[in-house]
Amino acid sequence: MLRIVPDWLLYIIVIAAVVFVLFRIDQRADAPEALPEAPQAGAFLPPPSMYDPEVLVEVGPISSGMGSAFAISPDGWWLTARHVVDGCDAVGLIVSRGAAAPVREVKRALFADLALLKTDRAPGALALDTSERHFQIGQRAFHVGFPQGRPGEAYSRLIGRETLIARGRYDVEEPVLAWAEQGRTSGLRGSLAGISGGPALASNGQVIGVTIAESARRGRIYTAAPSSILRLLRVEQVEPDGTPSARMSAENYGQQSDELRRGLQVAQVVCVGPGDGPPV
């Protein structure tokens, strides 16, 4: 269990209030909807190109909100999306109902929608696969996190590469992987907002990306490229040390996702925006 630091008590109270008022964070009892079978894997994923399609994303102003994160080392390093934690006065990880662990350090990538979070330790860490050489068009990914502030997941297949252009609070152009959504948690409708920062896992249980954006109209999910993840880890000199989750399939990914959340390998992130924290 992650240790709660007394100096953060006031922020924890704010975070807990947000959780209780806006969302429930208990595990789901329902199973994911039945999904169509993904097509057979095809050609290998080509390298990034200046001719890759572009997708424009508007990064809104700093505000309090929620996202997802996942542990990558037992000593307390986590990965999430930059836009989830950028500019926050305080960041916490929900570890149980009404309880949050403080994030002691936030390292934001300047070249991608990625960030590293540091806590005292993590109860379990997931293995990363930062090699793209064997990725194939049509392969599966399972996106785990807290869409709309509640436990949930989505299932997708790989389409190819695109270039994500972020404008607004900060400007970034980065290579991303584009996925066609195939299914999601039963009863989950509308936006997947809140799943940002969560892992995209391959069928073998290894993390192959960080979910950072969606296009609901096009049925697309976008993940940071493994090469961007590797670059951030090298810049910040962080050594990942995790193990794969249990194998995931269209039949069991809801259950396996719940296990990852129960074990706090995937956790909910809360950002306390400027002016939203308790008075000093």
Does residue 36 form part of some domain? Answer: no
Helix (H) or strand (E) holding 58: strand 54-59
Contact 103, 94 (CB under 8 A): no
User: What per-residue confidence (pLDDT) applies to 42?
Assistant: 73
Amino acid at 105: E
Does residue 253 form part of some domain? Answer: yes
Tokens 């008075």 found at = 279
Does residue 67 form part of some domain? Answer: yes
Does residue 280 form part of some domain? Answer: no
Domain harbouring 132, CATH code: 2.40.10.120
Does residue 108 form part of some domain? Answer: yes
Does residue 241 form part of some domain? Answer: yes
Number of domains in the chain: 1
Structural domain including 168 reads 6-25+41-272
Does residue 278 form part of some domain? Answer: no
pTM of the model: 0.85
Q: Give the span between the Cα atoms of 73 and 122, in whole angstroms.
A: 7
Instruction: Provide the 10 A C-beta neighbour count for residue 138.
Output: 14
Angle 163-115-49 from CA coordinates, rounded to 5°: 20
DSSP secondary structure string, 168-200? ESS-EEEEEEEEEEEEESTT--S--TT-TT-EE
CA 158 to chain centre: 17
Q: Label residue 153 left, alpha or beta by phi (over 0 means left) and psi (-120 to 50 means alpha).
A: beta
Structure tokens at 153: 């997941």
Does residue 190 form part of some domain? Answer: yes
Angle 55-211-16 from CA coordinates, rounded to 5°: 125
Please report, in tens digits, the pLDDT of each residue of the chain (280 residues total).
Answer: 343 444 444 344 444 444 433 333 333 333 344 444 444 457 899 888 889 999 999 888 877 889 999 999 999 999 999 999 998 999 999 987 767 889 999 999 999 999 999 999 888 899 999 888 789 999 999 999 999 999 999 999 999 999 999 998 889 999 999 999 999 987 888 889 999 999 999 999 999 999 999 998 889 999 999 999 999 999 999 999 999 999 999 999 999 999 999 999 999 999 988 766 554 3
Contacts of residue 239, Cβ cutoff 8 Å, sequence gap at least 6: 73, 233
Angle 137-256-99 from CA coordinates, rounded to 5°: 120
